[in-house]
Structure 1
Amino acid sequence: MSVDYRKISLNGLWHNNPALVQLLGLCPLLAVTSSVVNAIGLGVASTLVLTSSNLTVSLFRRLVPETVRLPIFVMIIASFVTAIELLMQAFTYELYLILGIFIPLIVTNCVIMGRADAFAAKNPVSASVVDGFMMSTGFTCVLVLLGAIREILGTGAIFANMHLLFGESARHWTITLADNYDGFLFAILPPGAFVGLGLLIALKNVIDARAERKRKQIPLTEAKESGSKRVRVTG
């Protein structure tokens, strides 16, 4: 059976994006996206866990009894989350403290469990790895975009505290967009996250609607052109 990697990639990034279409994993998405560095940290952790768990589930899919499928999936995901948690404690401890409970809660993230059960358990390894990576990349893109919007509106700057993830060389990456900015507290509070995500979903729907209208117009135009050619030939 051939695998359509392009379709899998487009589904993860756009057509079936976990955050904008499936609306999964919203709890961490809304809670930690007050800044870009937080969003990248959670996105990288989620990407590693989702890709690794999809790989493992696909490798052992034929050996897992149907009756204990979900508990085994949870154990696999929990193992990778524990490994990521220990790595973050070792190398990005301050960021780990900021993200707090949302790192261990990756175990219960519906995106990861959903892909393990709906895709990795039924497809070969290569397709499962691509699916896990592209789904988590789509999720991370929304995290980072929402984090950037909220950080800019809330503080008037972007890329603050990037040294928490990238080391001391990134301490001066902060870009101040507005001097003497008083801040917009609503943007960095949970209600601001809801509003920001709603606007991103609305923007995606508008883009999809315009693309659909263009697809419908192209066959209509071709039909008119072929009809006019037949008229000229008949005449």
Structure 2
Amino acid sequence: MNLQRFRENAWNGLWKQNPGLVQILGLCPILAISTSMVNAVSLGLATVLVMAVVNFTIASLRNFIPFEIRIPVFVLIIAALVTMVDLAFNAWLHDLYLVLGIFIPLITTNCIVLARVEAYAAKNDPLSSTVDGLMMGFGLVWVLAVLGGLRELIGSGTLLSGIDMIVPGLSAIQLFGEDYPGFLLAILPPGAFFALGVLIAAFNWINQRAGEHRHARTDDAAEAPAAG
């Protein structure tokens, strides 16, 4: 895997083909668990681990998996790894495990995981497939972090609520003071849709502005020799 391919995988996963903002995959966990930054990022990191290991495993075994039964085999491999992650959360992060609940096992059926396995890992080498899984996962993580932080901040005026479930002794950051009444809509399901819509709109606006700047630079470069 050369540096150029690594950059392409990183750019696609983190921005160009971002699973949460471009492909619009995995909406169930994105909307349901993003009530706080800690919950959202924790589930996102669990998904990163699953995607990286599953992509590596399937890319390594792709030549031995019959095409006709590839989907059941992919799901079986994903389910086995998700079970291990679920048991690890239960053993070492039990309080967080109780909060995330069913959404850890549901990584098995997450469209992001299965889509990257089918679209990339089943057709490429193990190293680039692992990088693809990592970058797509981290693309999801930053979307979850922004979405969860935004909803938590507006909804309760805090950031990193529940961090003590991961690092005992730490506490949430109270940004608006203890008198902040909160905005309930932000942490309810409709607030998740509104917040995601704002993120997608901002993402598209940034891409549009970047495209306009690129066209302007291209036009200037084309006009310079003519003017000379």
TM-score, length-scaled by structure 1: 0.94
In structure 2, the residue matched to 1:152 is 153
Give 1:193's aligned amino acid. A
Give 2:169's aligned amino acid. S
CA deviations over 1:44-87 (Å, ceiling 9, x no partner): 11011111100100000000000110000000000110000000
The CA distance in 2 between the partners of 1:213 and 1:127, in whole Å, is 32
Shift of 1:90: 0.3
Give 2:209's aligned amino acid. R
In structure 1, the residue matched to 2:37 is 36
In structure 2, the residue matched to 1:188 is 187
Give 1:143's aligned amino acid. L
The CA distance in 2 between the partners of 1:136 and 1:206, in whole Å, is 23
The CA distance in 2 between the partners of 1:200 and 1:213, in whole Å, is 20
After superposing on structure 2, the runs of 4+ consecutive aligned residues of structure 1 that deviate more than 2 Å are: none
Shift of 1:109: 0.2
In structure 2, the residue matched to 1:10 is 11
Work out whether residues 37 and 164 of structure 1, in 8 Å CA contact, stay in contact via their aligned partners in 2: no
CA deviations over 1:168-214 (Å, ceiling 9, x no partner): 132x3x11111200010000001101000110000010010011111
Work out whether residues 12 and 137 of structure 1, in 8 Å CA contact, stay in contact via their aligned partners in 2: yes
The CA distance in 1 between the partners of 2:122 and 2:198, in whole Å, is 34
In structure 2, the residue matched to 1:141 is 142
CA deviations over 1:214-235 (Å, ceiling 9, x no partner): 1111121112211111xxxxxx
In structure 1, the gaps of 5 or more residues are 230-235
In structure 2, the residue matched to 1:161 is 162
Shift of 1:163: 1.4
SS in structure 1 opposite 2:24?
coil
Shift of 1:6: 0.3
User: Considering only aligned residues, what root-mean-square deviation do their CA atoms show, in Å?
Assistant: 1.1
The CA distance in 1 between the partners of 2:83 and 2:168, in whole Å, is 26
The CA distance in 1 between the partners of 2:124 and 2:169, in whole Å, is 42
In structure 1, the residue matched to 2:176 is 178
SS in structure 2 opposite 1:224?
helix
Give 1:54's aligned amino acid. N
In structure 2, the residue matched to 1:102 is 103
In structure 2, the residue matched to 1:232 is none
In structure 1, the residue matched to 2:198 is 199
The CA distance in 1 between the partners of 2:118 and 2:61, in whole Å, is 12
